Amino acid sequence: MENVTLNNGVEMPVLGFGVYRIPPEETEQAVGSALAAGYRSLDTAAAYGNEEAVGRAIRNSGIPREDLFVTTKLWVSDAGEERTKRAFATSLRKLGLDRLDLYLIHQPFGDVHGAWRAMESLHREGLVRAIGVSNFHPDRLVDLIDHNEITPAVDQIETHPFFQRVADQELMRERGVRIESWGPFAEGRNDLFSDPRLGRIADAYGKSVAQVVLRWLIQRGVVVIPKSVRPERMAENLDVFDFTLTDDQMAAVAAMDTGASLFFDHRDPAVVSRLGTVTLNP
């Protein structure tokens, strides 16, 4: 496994396992299979409702805690200085851990500055090794950086061949923030897995389209957290370190960019209202 070094010196695997939309009753088995396959970075969130199952899988795996990199996220309704500390403690309890490797603000809504001050405090206390954000567009990211002490280590955003976030990544690079992709396969939208451009590249290496997409992201310096509940796919997604795309192949994938989300726009007032009013812990 290759690692990237975050802005505070913490090393993070460039390829991890995500559990978004895996039902809680299936999560323990899926995470157990992922750990058995060789994954050591796990990404969950309070909003996913499966932190407890992730924690059980970690305990049952027998893998030493220091060999794992565990990420979870703070939901909007828990933003704010005191609520964030309580939500963090709840996530730790559900995961059965005494510290986190990465804690992210899940959405750029609500009292994010209060939440960030609490996260800075948690970081200073050694309860989390790195802190970051998710779904922050460049303006929100810069605002957070310019008005706080610690620069986010990571911004986890929608990134895939149809929405490549090149300008966003460049700004993050300038500011010392690592880009992390959610939805690297675009959840199969736009017929990604049967796209002939990706298929030709895959055929050249005897790889799958999914492996080409992951390789393309990793070569761009993007951290990826693909999800699967099938052990054979988990193993396949890990097998992307034995080939390198050429400049022409990287450019061919770059030409697929539409510049628009395939899911939702975090600047759409309706989206802001919908996400901002969902409560996890009333």
CB-count exposure of residue 187 (10 Å: 0-12, 13-18, 19+): middle
Q: For residue 224, what is the enclosing H or E element?
A: strand 223-224
**At a CB cut-off of 8 Å and minimum separation 6, what does 181 contact?**
156, 157, 158, 159, 160, 217, 222, 223, 224, 225
Q: Report the distance separating Cα 25 and Cα 88, nearest Å.
A: 23
**At a CB cut-off of 8 Å and minimum separation 6, what does 158 contact?**
135, 165, 181, 182, 183, 261, 262, 263
Query: For residues 133 and 156, is the Cβ–Cβ distance under 8 A?
Result: yes
CA 12 → CA 18, 36, 69, 223, 277, distances in Å?
14, 19, 7, 9, 32
> Which positions are annotated as active-site residues?
48
174 three-state secondary structure: helix
Q: Report the distance separating Cα 282 and Cα 19, nearest Å.
A: 24
